[in-house]
Chains A and B, each alone.
Chain A
Amino acid sequence: MTFLKSAQKVLQQNIREYGMYIALFVIMTIFTITTKGTFISSRNIVNLVNQTGYIAVLAVGMTLVIVIRHIDLSVGFLGGFLGAIAAIAMVQWHLPVFLAILLTLALGILAGTITAFLVAQMKIPAFVATLAGWLIYRGAILVVTESTGTIIIPDKIFNAIGNGFIPDIPDIGILPGVHKLTLIIGVIAIVLLIISEINDRKKKLSYNFEVLPMEMFVIKLIFISALIGGFTWLLAGYQGLSWTAVVVLVVAIIYHFITTQTVLGRHIYAVGGNPEAAELSGINVKKITYIVFGSMGMLAALSGILFASRLQSATTTAGSLWELDAIAAAFIGGVSPAGGIGKVAGSIIGAFVMLSLTSGMNLMGIGISYQYMARGAVLAAAVIFDVATRNRAQ
């Protein structure tokens, strides 16, 4: 009985945090049933990850922008535009692929810095400043693709980012047809996670802080390990970890670390929670604004690269509505429109929720019109859930 009670308590205290994981799980289960298992097939999951990649990285940047009480509408077309620049850099300027990528990322940071200048220095509301950017980058895509139309990218390395998979270790006879390096990475991730959780618990106990009851702790570890394990197994069953997944994972880990563990992260949340108090606490609010918009610009560039690479070309329509998908993903992931609250991991889950809906409904053969409505309903439901649980927490 005590076990059930403590489980209930843990769930109740963390319902907001677990809410979107549960939502994603429910959505995936429903689609698995309605598509008779096609949805959860290795191939579809790998595709889903690859389709979500460019929105997921945008959502990560958008999380921080919304946390500091701003918004960025320009990132969709900025991403599209920079994807085109990457293509042009390789095709017309004949730059080596890595240089082209670096140049694109740098231009992204520059674009973000310009937005930050308008917002922080000129005090223009972010909505207006980035709406201007939205128009400008929309025009910019047309300008650079005007003469050629769609630019085909022939570079194999570049195209691998959106379509390729990590190489496997040579076949040693066991587990044929399974991507073994992916499995090994999954196992390493689980082991590292368990070690760090146990260390954290030990440290907390040495300070006499409250920790989860032992059995809940074990269950949590088993649950997370099973999740990672299952996911890895699914990926390994097809072609393994895609490069897009690697990129998203790296971005997620870096941003998760920055937001939860570092002084910079704490300063960002402080600025979002109360900019005046943050300023008086010695935090340079302008500097934080530059950093957050700069990172947003860089992630927009990355998003454009992922998309261009996936299509193996730069198109005139790239970037359309990405920003709204990213904003929706962030809100589904629990970011508060009032600022100061929101997690990177949540936004990535939010992006997966959005793309799962699209993918699942596509598999079911539901028309695009109903897809939009369903996605709108899920967005509304997610925010209602968030507000309701927040009020109860008070």
Chain B
Amino acid sequence: MNTPILEMKNITKEFPGVKALNNVSFQVAQGEIHCLVGENGAGKSTLMKVLSGVYSYGEYNGDILFDGKVQKFSGISDSEKAGIAIIYQELALIPEMTVYENIFLGNEVRNGFMVDWNETIKKATEMLKRVNLDVNPAAKVKDLGVGKKQLIEIAKALSKNVKLLILDEPTAALNEVDSENLLNLIRDLKNNGVTCVLISHKLTEVIDVADTVTVLRDGQTICTLNAQKGEVTRNALIKYMVGREIDNIYPKRDSKGTQEIVLEVKNWSAYDPSIGRNILKDINFNVKKGEIVGLAGLMGSGRTEFALSIFGNPDNYQLKGELFVGGKKQQFKHPHDAIEAGVAYVTEDRKGDGLILIQDVKENITLANLYEIATRSVVDKNAEVKVANEYKVNLNIKTPTVEQKVSHLSGGNQQKVCLGKWLFVKPNVLILDEPTRGIDVGAKFEIYTIMTKLVQEGMSIIMISSELPEVLGMSDRVYIVSSGRISGELPIEEASQEKIMHLATN
């Protein structure tokens, strides 16, 4: 093993009532790709916050050795100066600024006390080349896709002469092609001497790129695995992360749905006046009772837009075509109508438009169906607590009480609150948009188990997902969306990753 560039020794960080990190040791060798894995709430983010100086020296116990020196950071700027850069899932770019302005934001190329824009653009172009990104440096960041934004963040980090690059779930929001690009870039950087720490829930990519893997669980270091010695395998990772073995993450199902169609669209098209083009074209689609239908496709292919267009059309697309729910022709004017007709939609963006973060668990769970617990429009708060507690138990939401604000819950538990909210409206058709994005293996397994139980009770599920193994593991039938069209429909027996990718990029 090479000399370590980073050593974190016996780090302990306590919050009132919880030990988030308990004597954690973490060692990264010079020039390696080191993956940090663990369930949500295992302490990965806290560890990285300690490292980057968000929690300054003295707020935690233990030592940080970086580049051979003991470091006492008291803010992000200190750790950046030392050569550590962290790229978070929520990107810190300013959408209205150009690419070159963003790359050198806070680190402006100066000429006296004025910004030297020519030099900035020149340097930015070099940086873009280093991350293999072919965009106009004068383009506005808001016009670029998530994948490109991610690369610009990396270019920004590189412009600061970073020695250790930490990426927090960089591929969570990327499609397969962009993910592959990003992982290749990390390999490139490694060859150029930049050490990378990658935090990820996607075990496939961890196995793919990691030289070393450190597993955290419940605030403790469980083990460090070496890829060269063949220690990094899917089963090993899952076992150490969850603390038990999960044989098959996709639960077995007895029934395979019926022939009764519960939701169908015919010749369905949508025009988005705000961008002035058709986003959905001639879609024919149906779901049967007790069936899980997968909706695969690249990000931006129109999957979410399709779901929203049948869920009361909140973005006010101009719709054409026919929608049948439960055999009746429907024209929903608002999500409210869709909910009334038994359709529910669990968003892909639980923080952005799924949950009300400043409210508590019970208020979020009952929000979409308040009349159920109200008499003459007066909410029965005791009934509300009771309902919320039922979902807390049934969905295994880990929260001390249902009065806890959802912003304090981990991603997996927030997702369960979202799910609980939509199960409380007692839908016939449940649309799940990326139901397991950004949540850990244990919680994923729980969500798959819940889905299985629901369809066995006769609910129908439309699952939108970018994770092909999930699509193949859970669906009875798969539709593939490409550029706003259904480019293919496959029974699960005929579907494979290759076929789906082929149709999705069609």
Q: Which A residues form the contact surface with B (CB < 8 A)?
A: 203-204, 207, 209, 261-267, 269-270, 273-274, 276-284, 340-341, 394
Quick check: A279 and B377 within 8 Å, CB to CB?
A: no
Q: Which residues of chain B in 339-388 are interfacial with respect to chain A, using CB atoms and an 8 Å cutoff?
A: 339-340, 345, 347, 352-359, 363, 367-368, 370-371, 374, 377-379, 382, 385-386
The interface residues of chain A lying within 8 Å CB-to-CB of B425 are 282
Additional A-B contacts beyond A266-B367, A273-B359, A284-B334 (17; CB < 8 A): A262-B377, A263-B374, A274-B357, A277-B347, A278-B356, A279-B314, A280-B311, A280-B353, A281-B367, A281-B368, A281-B421, A282-B335, A282-B340, A282-B368, A283-B367, A341-B358, A394-B407
In the bound assembly, the distance between CA atoms of A267 and B377 in angstroms comes to 11
Contact status B356-A282, CB under 8 Å: no
* CA gap between A283 and B338 in the complex, in Å: 12
* Pair A209/B385 contact, Cβ less than 8 Å: yes
Instruction: Find out whether the CB atom of A273 lies under 8 angstroms from the CB atom of B368.
Output: no
Query: Are the C-beta atoms of B353 and A274 separated by less than 8 Å?
Result: yes
Please count the residue pairs between chain A and chain B whose beta carbons lie under 8 angstroms apart in the complex.
83
Chain A hits for B407, CB < 8 A? 394
Q: How far is the CA of A279 from the CA of B337 in the complex (A)?
A: 12
Is B72 close to A, CB under 8 A? no
Interface size classification for chain B: 35 or more
Check if B336 is an interface residue, CB within 8 A of chain A: yes
Is A280 a contact of B314 with CB atoms below 8 Å? yes
Report the bound CA distance from A151 to B425 in whole Å. 57
The answer to whether A263 and B357 touch across the interface, beta carbons within 8 angstroms, is: no
- Name B385's contact: one of A207, A274, A276, A340 (CB within 8 Å): A207
Q: Let me know if A261 and B358 touch, CB within 8 A.
A: no
Instruction: Evaluate contact between B335 and A270: CB separation under 8 angstroms.
Output: no
Task: Kindly list chain A residues whose C-beta atoms are within 8 Å of the C-beta of B338.
Answer: 282
Query: Using an 8 Å CB-CB cutoff, how does the interface string of B176-211 with A read, 1 for contact, 0 for none?
Result: 000000000000000000000000000000000000
Residues of chain B within 8 A (CB-CB) of A276 are 352-353
Interface residues of B in 406-455 (CB under 8 A from A): 407-408, 421, 425
Inter-chain contact A269/B359, CB cutoff 8 Å: yes
Residues A209 and B377 in contact, CB atoms below 8 Å apart: no
With both beta carbons as reference points, the residue of chain A lying nearest to B408 in the complex is identified as A394
**Shortest CB–CB separation between residue A61 and chain B, in angstroms?**
20
Q: Per DSSP, are chain B's interface residues mostly helix, strand or loop, or mixed?
A: helix
Question: Given A207-B386, A209-B385, A280-B347, A266 and B358 touching (CB < 8 A)?
Answer: no
Residues of A within 8 A of B355 (CB): 274, 277
Structural contact, A284 and B382, CB atoms closer than 8 A: no
In the assembly, what is the distance between CA of A122 and CA of B337, in Å?
Answer: 23
Query: By CB atoms of chain A within 10 A, which of B358, B363, B385 has the most?
Result: B358
Are the CB atoms of A282 and B339 closer together than 8 Å? yes
In the complex the two chains form, is A264's CB within 8 Å of B377's CB? Answer: yes
Complex interface residues of chain B between 293 and 338 (CB less than 8 A to chain A): 311-312, 314, 334-336, 338
- A262 contacts B314, C-beta separation under 8 Å: no
Given contacts A262-B377, A284-B334, contact A273 B370 (CB under 8 A): no
15 chain-A/chain-B pairs, Cβ below 8 angstroms: A261-B379, A262-B378, A263-B378, A265-B379, A266-B363, A266-B367, A273-B356, A273-B358, A277-B347, A277-B354, A280-B314, A280-B345, A280-B353, A282-B336, A282-B338
- The interface residues of chain B lying within 8 Å CB-to-CB of A278 are 356, 367
A120 to chain B, nearest CB (A): 13
- When distances are taken between beta carbons in the complex, the residues of chain A under 8 Å from B382 are 203-204, 207, 209
With a cutoff of 8 Å between Cβ atoms, the chain B residues found around residue A267 in the complex are 370
Residues of A within 8 A of B363 (CB): 266, 270
Q: Do residues B336 and A270 form an inter-chain contact, with CB atoms below 8 A?
A: no
Known: A263-B371, A263-B379. A340 touches B314 (CB 8 A): no
State in angstroms the CA–CA spacing of A394 and B405 once bound together: 9
B359 and A261 contacting across the interface, CB-CB below 8 Å: no
- In order of increasing CB-CB distance, the 8 nearest A-B pairs are A276-B353, A273-B356, A282-B336, A281-B368, A282-B339, A274-B356, A263-B370, A282-B335
Asked if B335 and A281 make an inter-chain contact with CB atoms under 8 angstroms apart, the answer reads yes
- Determine how close the nearest CB of chain A comes to the CB of B59; give it in whole angstroms: 15
Contacts of A340 in B (CB 8 A): 356, 358-359
Evaluate contact between B379 and A277: CB separation under 8 angstroms. Answer: no
